[in-house]
């Protein structure tokens, strides 16, 4: 949870908003938090007044708790949005790298390859490439624009990809070879992530099995015996 009453907390909120993408600024998001912090307890208070509920200490404590809940509702939404956006970037990245590699091997420049990806693969990563291209058109260097793509997504694979491109341009290495290696590595990491998730599925299934299956088994196994015992006692 971010401490919003300190300068460091506000900086952390700004970074989180950057990772979430447009449209909120820090001031706009703080205004939304204040709005929900007032609206949630206000709605409950209005319902209580309409129902003629008498106010006690417990009701006041609940209303104060709802103020905190309302304040942090936008924050939970923001954290969820960041996760969804980063997942979309990770999912689209291998295909995007394949398309960039194909374009570069076909003779297109790197900027033209980025434009093709932005055109054919809509989504957060394509949007970030479009923004980087606009910034380069306005005079920003490719190195700075690409580094900010990595910072705005917060995805390790994107940061690695950007660093590899910058290193290849600095050393004069083949961009196509670097892109091909990056695409293979990202596919490997993606497969490893899927395997890790698959290994965790039995652990995740343990609680639902215990919660729903075992009571049914106990009823099926012990139910007839319990009925016989009750019949014997009744006689």
What is the domain partition of the chain in residue ranges?
A: 7-86, 88-191
pLDDT mean over 21-43 = 87
Is this structure's pTM higher than 0.85?
no
pLDDT at 23 over 80: no
Task: Please answer whether residues 205 and 195 qualify as being in contact, where contact means their C-beta atoms are separated by less than 8 angstroms.
Answer: no
Q: Pick the more confident residue, 227 or 25.
A: 25
pLDDT mean over 149-154 = 92
**What confidence tens digit (pLDDT) does each residue in 89-114 have?**
988 888 888 889 889 888 888 899 99
Rounded to whole angstroms, how far apart are CA atoms 219 and 229?
A: 14
pLDDT mean over 110-130 = 90
pLDDT of residue 133: 93
pLDDT of residue 52: 80
Task: Please answer whether residues 63 and 44 qualify as being in contact, where contact means their C-beta atoms are separated by less than 8 angstroms.
Answer: yes
Predicted confidence band of residue 80 (pLDDT cuts 50, 70, 90): very high
CA dihedral 14, 17, 18, 23 (to 10 degrees): -120
pLDDT of residue 35: 92
Task: Please answer whether residues 103 and 113 qualify as being in contact, where contact means their C-beta atoms are separated by less than 8 angstroms.
Answer: yes
pLDDT at 1 over 60: no
My answer on whether omega of the bond before 140 falls inside 30° of 0, hence cis, is no
pLDDT mean over 49-65 = 80
Rounded to whole angstroms, how far apart are CA atoms 235 and 229?
A: 10
pLDDT of residue 150: 92
**What confidence tens digit (pLDDT) does each residue in 58-79 have?**
878 888 888 888 888 998 999 9
Tell me the torsion sign for CA atoms 39, 41, 43, 49.
negative
pLDDT mean over 178-183 = 85
Query: What is the percentage of the chain residues whose pLDDT exceeds 90?
Result: 22
**Roughly what angle, to the nearest 10 degrees, separates helices 124-137 and 110-120?**
140
pLDDT of residue 177: 86
Best CATH choice for the domain 88-191 from the list 3.40.50.150, 1.10.10.10, 1.20.81.30, 1.20.1250.20: 1.20.81.30
Q: Pick the more confident residue, 212 or 173.
A: 173
pLDDT at 29 over 80: yes
Burial class (CB in 10 A: 0-12, 13-18, 19+), 129: buried
For 18, the token pair is 């950057």
pLDDT of residue 14: 85
How many beta carbons lie within 10 A of that of residue 182, not counting itself?
23
Predicted confidence band of residue 26 (pLDDT cuts 50, 70, 90): confident
pLDDT at 205 over 80: no
- Average predicted confidence (pLDDT) for the chain: 84
């Amino acid at each position: 949870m971010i401490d919003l009453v300190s300068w460091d907390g506000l900086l952390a909120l700004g970074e989180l908003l950057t990772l979430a993408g447009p449209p909120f600024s820090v001031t706009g998001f703080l205004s939304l938090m204040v709005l929900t912090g007032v609206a949630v307890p206000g709605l409950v208070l209005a319902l209580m007044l309409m129902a003629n509920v008498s106010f006690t200490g417990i009701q006041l404590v609940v209303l104060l708790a709802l103020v905190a809940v309302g304040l942090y509702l936008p924050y939970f939404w923001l954290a969820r949005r960041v996760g969804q956006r980063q997942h979309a970037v990770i999912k689209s990245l291998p295909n995007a790298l394949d398309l960039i590699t194909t374009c570069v091997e076909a003779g297109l420049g790197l900027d033209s390859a980025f434009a093709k990806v932005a055109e054919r693969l809509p989504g957060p990563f394509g949007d970030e490439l479009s923004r980087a291209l606009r910034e380069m058109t306005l005079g920003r260097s490719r190195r700075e624009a690409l580094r900010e793509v990595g910072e705005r997504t917060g995805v390790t694979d994107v940061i690695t990809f950007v660093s590899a491109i910058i290193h290849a341009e600095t050393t004069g290495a083949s961009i196509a070879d670097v892109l091909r290696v990056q695409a293979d590595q990202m596919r490997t990491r993606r497969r490893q992530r899927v395997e890790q998730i698959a290994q965790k599925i039995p652990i995740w299934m343990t609680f639902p099995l215990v919660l729903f299956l075992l009571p049914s088994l106990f009823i099926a196994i012990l139910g007839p015996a319990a009925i016989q015992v009750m019949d014997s006692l009744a006689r």
